[in-house]
Amino acid sequence: MDSFNDLIKAEFTPPSTWVLSRELIFSTEHLLNEEIDILRSIGVDCSPAGIITVPSGFETDLASVPRQLWSLLSPWDVARAAVIHDQLYLNCAVYFLSEHKDTVIWKKARSVSDKVFLLAMNAAAPPVSRWKKKSAYYAVRLFGKKAAKVLDNRKLKNLEKNSSRSN
């Protein structure tokens, strides 16, 4: 059974981001060993058992849904899944921009990241309606390519935090 360690605990940092005040963990039994290996090869903190960890201090915008669409798909509906997905796309972007990038591995990693997003939405409580999960999933499949290649300011801040933690 797929699950999260708890609800998100985060502080709002205006104008539009949240900073996790404790780590967020997603556990899934629905990843193949090859998929876990792909995620780990791009630097994702993913155990061999399919446990993905987003560290405390991680900065996120929850779900990148334009405000005009919040009445249809609110970022609150998919928030935990979106935070996990943000972490995965951060790793995708770092890998994409690295010297040893392999485009085939990057494409697989992006696909697995999107699969994890769907799995995490399926594990959400309260449940996310089927049409919202499909809409959010297909939106990242169609429009997420750039986000999985680019290190924007928020991703750079998260990288700085991660590197200062490991030093």
DSSP 73-123: S-TTTTHHHHHHHHHHHHHHHHHHTSTT--HHHHHHHHHHHHHHHHHHHHT
Answer whether residue 90 shows pLDDT above 90: yes
Total domains present in the chain: 1
Residue 76 pLDDT grade (very low, low, confident, very high; cuts 50, 70, 90)? confident
Question: pTM surpassing 0.85?
Answer: yes
Q: Is residue 50 domain-resident? A: yes
CB burial class (10 A; 0-12, 13-18, 19+) of residue 37? middle
Q: Is residue 66 domain-resident? A: yes
Q: Is residue 85 domain-resident? A: yes
Residue 67 pLDDT grade (very low, low, confident, very high; cuts 50, 70, 90)? low
- Please report the pLDDT score of residue 47 as a whole number: 96
- Please report the pLDDT score of residue 135 as a whole number: 86
60-64, 117-121, 143-147, range with the lowest pLDDT: 60-64
- Segment 114-125 mean pLDDT: 96
Give the domain range for residue 114.
Answer: 3-162
- Please report the pLDDT score of residue 34 as a whole number: 98
Q: Is residue 106 domain-resident? A: yes
Q: Is residue 167 domain-resident? A: no
Q: Is omega for the bond preceding 126 within 30 degrees of 0, making it cis? A: yes
Q: Is residue 139 domain-resident? A: yes
Q: Is residue 30 domain-resident? A: yes
Q: Is residue 95 domain-resident? A: yes
- What average pLDDT is seen over the chain? 90
Q: φ, ψ for residue 23 (rounded to 5)?
A: -65, 155
